[in-house]
């Protein structure tokens, strides 16, 4: 297994709606994928677009979640707030550090 980052850059018309549904999405990811879900960050770029940065235990889990979650009725609040997706990629983590 190699830790994998999921990187998604997208537009959203209502940042408040997006963030309001974020915690629910994170709870769903924890419940569904358990220890395979390692963490998530939601950020906004200066141009107003958003970055969803999720860390998974493996590329297999990342691919599975990318396929399952957007169509999951329990996650429709978050995914319904997303507009145009500019980029979605998975990348293998080669090195990481914490404070």
Contact of 83 with 54, CB cutoff 8 Å: no
Q: Is residue 24 part of a domain?
A: yes
Q: Is residue 62 part of a domain?
A: yes
- Residue 53: domain span: 4-92
Please count the structural domains in the chain. 1
Model-level pTM? 0.91
Q: What is the DSSP letter of 31?
A: H
Q: Is residue 71 part of a domain?
A: yes
Q: Is residue 51 part of a domain?
A: yes
Contact of 6 with 52, CB cutoff 8 Å: yes
Q: Is residue 97 part of a domain?
A: no
Q: Is residue 21 part of a domain?
A: yes
**CATH number of the domain to which 85 belongs:** 3.30.70.100
Q: What is the pLDDT of residues 64-86, one digit of tens each?
A: 999 999 999 999 999 999 999 99
Q: What is the pLDDT of residues 28-68, one digit of tens each?
A: 999 999 999 999 999 999 999 999 999 999 999 999 999 99
pLDDT over threshold 80, residue 2: yes
Q: Is residue 99 part of a domain?
A: no
Distance CA(70)–CA(92), nearest Å, equals: 22
């Amino acid at each position: 297994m190699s830790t994998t980052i999921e990187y998604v850059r997208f537009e959203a018309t209502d940042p408040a709606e997006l963030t309001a549904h974020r915690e629910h999405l994170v709870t769903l990811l924890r419940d569904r994928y358990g220890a395979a879900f390692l963490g998530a960050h939601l950020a906004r770029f200066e141009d107003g677009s958003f970055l969803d940065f999720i860390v998974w235990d493996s590329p297999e889990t990342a691919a599975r979640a990318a396929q399952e979650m957007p169509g999951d009725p329990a996650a429709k609040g978050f995914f319904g707030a997303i507009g145009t997706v500019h980029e979605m990629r998975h990348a293998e983590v080669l090195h990481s550090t914490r404070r």
